[in-house]
Amino acid sequence: MIRIGIAGGAGYTAGELVRLLVNHPKVEIKSIASSSFKGKTVSAVHQDLIGVDLQFAKTIDFDIDVLFLCMGHGKSRTFLEENTIPSSVKIIDLSHDFRLKKSDKINGRSFIYGLPETNKEGIVKSSNIANPGCFATAIQEALLPLAANGWLENEVHINAITGSTGAGQKPSETTHFSWRNSNVSVYKAFEHQHLAEIGETLVQLHQGETSELNFIPVRGNFTRGIFATLYTKTDRSTEEIEETYKTYFKEHPFVHISEQPIHLKQVVNTNNVILHLEKIGNKLLITSIIDNLIKGASGQAIQNMNLMFGLDETTGLKLKASNF
């Protein structure tokens, strides 16, 4: 059994992580730390986990095999600076602290970017994973085959709407129910922090600079999921594009190409990515959907853990969508 530790156990991503791990056949959760809820049962905070016999500790017991860092951005680096963690303990960080090449090292540890659909071999060999961002995951999955074939020749226009859980558990003006309900708004247009990690991946695959990404993030009035629409100009045929996507994702069990238009409920509560491709005139329209808390965070972290420990990457992640 893989012994698990979770730091920052009170947030949305940690709650999803525990929900998935308690049903994983190859793991044992040994330690969940939360400075705010020390001594309380996990189900007192994550009420969907009632009946799960786990309790928050103030600090992590490092007699474990893998540590998940589920703390806020910037706090993972501080945690690793302040704690001496045995080199035998693998780390999967769900913040943005180690995603970029300029900041992927600390205390002798080098982090690998954990998008299995581009870096599976590296993940298998690594002991330290920087889990991708949720918007970054949905957008990259839509563009990976184009980048890998050198087809990102024109600007890409992206509009992506996310559920309120993407903003984390701590309340703010734009996550308060009375503001968010029946409301939609744009934020960080053209400047979202996930553009940096997307850019690094695409340049690496494209083997050189790619065209500009024009990204408009949108706050949705629902709780979970990301619905992204992307379009770019191309002279390639529908058949050539579809075959390229199917070939690229052939060995990646969580990515599916739908021949029919897609909707968000198809992926909520799953680790799946569903893509739909449509050629309209000289424009390629790509629709990409994920659950921001699972494939966009905790599910992808477990997928990475499975790969790191030699398990089938789908172990514990064969989930059905909440379609109704």
Active site (catalytic) residues: 134
Gap between the Cα atoms of 302 and 311, Å rounded: 11
3-state secondary structure of 91: strand
Distances (CA, A) of 242 to 159, 206, 209: 22, 19, 24
Nearest to 9 by CA among 75, 63, 86, 65: 75
**Helix, strand, coil percentages for the chain (3-state, nearest 5):** 30, 25, 45
User: How many residues are listed for the chain in this entry?
Assistant: 324
Our measurement of the distance from residue 110's CA atom to the centroid of its chain's CA atoms, rounded to an integer in Å, reads: 19
Tokens describing residue 212:
């500009």
Site of tokens 């500009």: 212
Q: Measuring CA to CA, which residue among 7, 18, 6, 5 is closest to residue 47?
A: 18
